[in-house]
Amino acid sequence: MPFTNETDILSIPAVLAAENHNTNVLVTIILTVILVAVGATVVFRREEPKKVPEFQEPPVLPSKVPFIGHLIGMLRWQVGYMQMLSSKCPSWPAFTLRIGAARIYVICDPSLIQAAYRNAKTFDFGSFVVESSERLFQISEHGMKIIRGETTPGYDPNGPFLNGNNGKSFLNENHRIMVDTLSPGPALRSLNRAVLDRVAGSLNDIDSTEGKFGLYRWMRDIITHASAEAIYGPNNPFSGNPKLVEDLWHFEADMTLLMLQFMPTFIAPKAYHARTAIRNAFEEYYANGHDKEASILIQTHLASCKKWGFGDSDIANFEVSTLFLATTNTVSTSFWQLSYILSDPELLDAIRAEVEPIIKRQNSPIVGEEVAVMDITLFQTQCPLLVSTFHETLRLVGSATSVRSVVAPANLKANSNTFSLQSPAVIQLPSGITHSSPAIWGPDVNSFNPTRFLASTKATLDKETKRKQIQGYFPFGGGKHLCPGRHFATAEILSFVTALVTGFDIEGSHVPERAFQKLGTGVRKPMGDVDVGIKRREGWEGVKWCFDLGGQEVNFSTLAGGSDEVEE
Ligand code: HEM
């Protein structure tokens, strides 16, 4: 399947070319040089390439600039680059990019993507976690030895990386802790309870005198404070410290540049100083014993860090990553879902009518006021349109790319496609490609269709389209590393958005343009902010908001989708 016109490959679709981006030439050149070196280290340090001749490799997509053309493309267009390439060859199930001698396999076919997720043994994520811990979180050499599994009893330098997928190692244990404490059960329940109490507090503080403010930033700050309090307890470093909240988002904005470890105070000064400030604040937090009031997630993680021998300084270094993961995608998803609903008056009315029955109004003898209690266990059964808009939002603005390294030569097989993949190599599974494919979603792929994920809509699809949509929609990734925070995020987003559309009138909202998507971003951000005014809706003026998690466990498995079953 050769390309007939190479110029086509590197020409830029209007939608991407129109986007604002600020990658300057100097930084691009520096990034290019350093990432070539990084890529070579990641790719070559483990094994020599071995060939599996049985089947063909995915076809090579050439670039006009030899050796580093695709690297320059990735740095210039970042997350959007794979989408650009794929739009030039929409029928290709996968393609290979060559950067020097290194290979990147980009998988576009939904069945092949799911096949790759299932084989976590061959397509490994651990090496990327090790690499980013070292580059982004400034872990000491002693800490890196623990992370690389070198302090594990019986460590065999020639054995499987990180002592195997499920073997004894700090990373495997930490992964298990995340999955266990964030899956439906008592730990998640208390986390949900804490985050929603804090969200309710923010809603109850709203009065009509606020004037205009930026909607994205306002939601960002509420979610950041609520998540920090739920995860780290009432004396978390962010409480009463708006500067540290700003710092978290400065870090988030330029963390890719920090990963280069090249003149960080020059190329990413705000992110660099922000990381130091957050790290110092967490060191003080732990020194003062505030972690005793933290969530089970943090207490279990801390016990594990201590057991494996991490020093206090490294423990503080880790924390920026936890809070970053817990907020970065949740904030944008909440903002977009709310904006899409508010932009369509008929949809807004329909959602208000759908959610009102799950909100009970009652006079509370405790607060002496009228309370609006939202039963969040009923989203799944009683609010199909709301849930459909949640998924449609994630389809349109969620474009995370899962990356895995191919640790042994393998065949990737699904339906009629089988490809041979060499090792070492990197595979990329960009959800941006499948989420925006007209072949999967139809001609209205670029529009927000609120009913797309309703069971009644899906029932009209033929079997093949239904299969492609199920497999091609993966905003939370998949396989062993499927986002463990998806239940927590779903509860928080749906509750927050539902309370806002039901109890408040938000004036001036519209759906903004999307910002240029930097490497490392999962959910796209808005370009700029949207100035709005907010006031209590007629009939809801005096109520206090409160979220009820019901008598039973809130199980968001069906809502958040996905399963973490993988081949071991
Ligand atoms: C709308 C919100 C969210 C989205 C769209 C999202 C998306 C993702 C994606 C795409 C991945 C990579 C999965 C892969 O490569 O297969 C991921 C990983 C992860 N997410 Fe989320 N996430 C969200 C919220 C959260 C929250 C709230 C938390 C924590 C409370 C969280 C914690 C994590 C962790 C710890 C990982 C790494 C998992 C691993 O390495 O095994 N996420 N997320």
CA distance 433 to 87: 8
400 in ligand 1 pocket by Cβ < 6 Å? yes
Say what the pLDDT of residue 308 is: 95
Say what the pLDDT of residue 550 is: 75
Instruction: Point out the ligand 1 atom lying closest to the alpha carbon of residue 182.
Output: 30
- In 144-240, the DSSP E strands lie at 212-214
CA distance 97 to 59: 9
- pLDDT class for 204, splitting at 50, 70, 90? very high
- pLDDT class for 22, splitting at 50, 70, 90? very low
485 in ligand 1 pocket by Cβ < 6 Å? yes
Say what the pLDDT of residue 559 is: 65
Q: Which amino acid is at 298?
A: I
**Number of C-alpha atoms within 13 angstroms, CB side, residue 499?**
30
As for the ipTM of the complex, it is: 0.99
Residue bearing the CA closest to ligand 1, atom 36: 483
Say what the pLDDT of residue 155 is: 84
CA distance 220 to 199: 12
Among 20-24, 173-177, 225-229, 252-256, whose mean pLDDT is lowest? 20-24
Among 43-57, 233-247, 453-467, whose mean pLDDT is lowest? 43-57
- Does the annotation place 89 within a ligand binding site? no
149 in ligand 1 pocket by Cβ < 6 Å? no
CA distance 50 to 421: 10
- pLDDT class for 364, splitting at 50, 70, 90? confident
Q: Give the mean model confidence (pLDDT) for residues 242-265.
A: 91
147 in ligand 1 pocket by Cβ < 6 Å? no
401 in ligand 1 pocket by Cβ < 6 Å? no
Q: Does the pLDDT of residue 16 top 70, yes or no?
A: no
326 in ligand 1 pocket by Cβ < 6 Å? yes
Q: Does the pLDDT of residue 9 top 80, yes or no?
A: no
Best residue among 483, 488, 566 to mutate for probing ligand 1's pocket (most ligand atoms within 8 Å of CB) is 483
- In 84-133, the DSSP E strands lie at 94-99, 102-107, 123-124
Residue indicated by tokens 């209590």 = 536
Say what the pLDDT of residue 83 is: 94
79 in ligand 1 pocket by Cβ < 6 Å? no
In the chain the domains, ranked by start, together with CATH numbers, are: 1-110+399-474 (no CATH), 172-398+482-560 (1.10.630.10)
Q: Does the pLDDT of residue 515 top 70, yes or no?
A: yes
Radius of gyration of the chain (CA): 24
H-only helix segments in 289-376:
296-308, 312-342, 345-355
178 in ligand 1 pocket by Cβ < 6 Å? yes
CA of 475 relative to ligand 1 center, distance in Å: 9
- pLDDT class for 132, splitting at 50, 70, 90? confident
Instruction: Point out the ligand 1 atom lying closest to the alpha carbon of residue 480.
Output: 41
Please tell me which of 10-14, 121-125, 378-382, 386-390 the model is most confident about, judged by mean pLDDT: 386-390
How would DSSP label each residue in 19-77?
S-----HHHHHHHHHHHHHHHHHHHHSS---B--TTSPPPPB---SSTTTHHHHHHHHH
How many angstroms from the chain centroid is the CA of residue 69? 28
Say what the pLDDT of residue 365 is: 74
CA of 487 relative to ligand 1 center, distance in Å: 10
Distances (CA, A) of 361 to 102, 287, 502, 545: 61, 44, 12, 10
CA of 481 relative to ligand 1 center, distance in Å: 8
Q: Does the pLDDT of residue 40 top 50, yes or no?
A: no
